[in-house]
Amino acid sequence: MTLTHSTGHAPRFGLKRLAAVVAVSVMTSVGALAGLAGAAHAAPPTAEVNTTGLAVTDTEVTVGILHSVTGTMAISETGSVQAEKLAIAQINASGGILGRQIKVVQEDGASDWPTFAEKARKLLVSDKTAAVFGCWTSASRKAVLPVFEKENGLLYYPTFYEGLEESPNVFYTGQEATQQILAGIDWVMKEKGAKSFYLLGSDYIWPRTSNKIARKHIEMNGAKVLGEEYFALGHTQFNSAINKIKLRKPDVIYAIIVGGSNVAFYKQLKAAGVDLSKQTLLTISVTEDEVLGIGGENIAGAYASMKYFQSLDNPNNTAFVAAFKEMWGKDIVIGDVTQAAYLGPWLWKAAVEKAGSFDVDKVRAASPDIELTTAPEGYVKIHPNHHLWSKTRIGLAKPDGQFEVLYETAELMEPDPFPKGYQ
């Protein structure tokens, strides 16, 4: 993974430059892809790189992974664990970070927000991890946030989310709402002539806040919202909502249902005779990871607004997909959040090496303007607000479980977690 420490604030655009950086189209071994990171750094004395009592020795640095591998969110979060472990294995194979190998302590949030907070406290207070890669839902992130801020820990959070947050203790490697939502709605209104929408979501902060932003953008552009409904996490009975949709006939079903509930929703939608090749559905919550459980045949024809799809055609992604499949199996799939999770350890490595220290305050100060020029999605850069510049893309779900990329923004979108007029 090529890492650059930029001093300017304007991002550099385009994939042509990346082809010159990545000279090989397919690298299937972890060691080969890790070689992009460059030569290993000599290990400076521990007393110089760890002045705050973190779990750093002369040979190791300990980090945490905190995701749900059980419960309703496991369908979505397992890929993040796999991606973070792949990145860490590649970093270790390339010589580690400041001459030290990364040791992982993994905890299961179990799809339960108090459990996330409890495990976060363990990772920071007992394990003294130098960084944590974790969470998926905004509910889990909100649960751990006070812990990270009190203990001055560092969290790399991979999920697209509602924005309206900028913590000094979190780096957000997924998109905030305006990056994902606004471009997607603009596309469907232009390409499909959409004038009416029906909003659906799971009942917690991310879908509700995202739909609030979506509604404002829809109405500001002269379209109407015909209905809006929310369902508890794990909900499996959607027939009543589907009947309302069939009755009101919106141009677009706008769906932000998360976790295992997606399986029931899309199967019931198809069983009710809703043909997604005729009824436009745009989701910001279903990636290839969820489609694996839903079944490609049950969601084919739907559109998704994301920054990453496994089918992206660039040398960086070709190498990433090959390495991911080698480590986790040839039938594995990779979704948007999985790719964003993969970025976390690389961004942390770059900041640590730029700072010459594992100390959280120094890593945080070194992070703005760090670039990853060989990220699988193409190119990202850390904004001073701790979010990433990135492109937004629209994908069409296919029966084989993959997405065909139909559109991408011409340039990277600047993250704006506190958008005027949408709060």
Determine what percent of the chain is predicted with pLDDT higher than 70: 90
- Of 250, 247, 207, the residue nearest 230 (C-alpha): 207
Which helix H or strand E contains 131, and what residues bound it?
none
pTM for the model: 0.88
* pLDDT beyond 60 at 4: no
pLDDT, tens digit (0-9, with 9 covering 90-100), for 283-306:
999 999 999 999 999 999 999 999
Which residues, listed in sequence order, are joined to residue 394 by a DSSP beta bridge? 305, 407
| Phi and psi at residue 206, to the nearest 5° | -65, -55
Where do runs of H (alpha helix) occur along 227-301? 239-248, 261-271, 288-294, 296-299
Angle at 397 between CA 396 and CA 403, to 5 degrees: 75
Tens digits of per-residue pLDDT, 306-340? 999 999 999 999 999 999 999 999 999 999 999 99
More confident residue, 150 or 39: 150
| Residue 66 · residue 135 · CB < 8 Å | yes
How buried is residue 246: exposed, middle or buried, by Cβ count under 10 Å (0-12/13-18/19+)?
A: middle
pLDDT digits (tens, 9 = 90+) for 191-237: 999 999 999 999 999 999 999 999 999 999 999 999 999 999 999 99
List, in order, residues 6 or more apart from 331 with CB less than 8 Å away: none
> Of 178 and 173, which is predicted with more confidence?
173
Sequence-ordered list of residues with C-beta below 8 angstroms from that of 398, at least 6 positions apart, any chain: 296, 300, 404
Confidence of residue 422 (pLDDT cuts 50, 70, 90): confident
Q: Alpha-carbon distance 71 to 190, whole Å?
A: 39
Nearest Cα to Cα of residue 281 among 297, 305, 258: 305
Q: Is the pLDDT of residue 6 over 60?
A: no
